[in-house]
Amino acid sequence: MRRFTTTVSAVALSLVLGGGAALAADYGTAEEAKKMLDETVEAMKSDKKGTIEKINAGEMKDRDLYPYCGGPDGKMVAHPSEKVRAMNLKELKDKSGKAFGQDLYDEAEQGEVNEVSYMWPRPDEQEPVQKVAYVTKVDDMVCAVGYYK
């Protein structure tokens, strides 16, 4: 009986741990977000218009990672959600009232990548969770990619 209990416990543990690993694979990591931002910057430098079109069409998304960019006036020009593109990035606040959109503009520097933390829902979800955005400036635009913690 003890051997059967041990076997059942081992199988249950592997299912739990395996399920957690599968769940983690559903979400992008900090390293993947940083890499996506680097790739977005390079793409913007070589073909700004084409890159904006790809971002808006959702062609640069990877699970819950996606690039987004705002113009110098704060107008969201690149984001995979049409609803979000209608917003002014500089004016965005999270559920707690933090003006993270302005923080993104304040932290964006040409040739440097900085971080801004805020609360935001994952794609297709309603409840905000902690998100960290890597942000930089590409010419006159502020571009970012965030990952969810």
Write out pLDDT tens, residues 43-99: 999 999 999 999 999 999 999 999 999 999 999 999 999 999 999 999 999 999 999
CA gyration radius, the chain? 19
Write the DSSP symbol of residue 24: H
pTM value?
A: 0.82
- Taking the C-alpha atoms of residue 77 and residue 86, their distance in angstroms, rounded to an integer, is 9
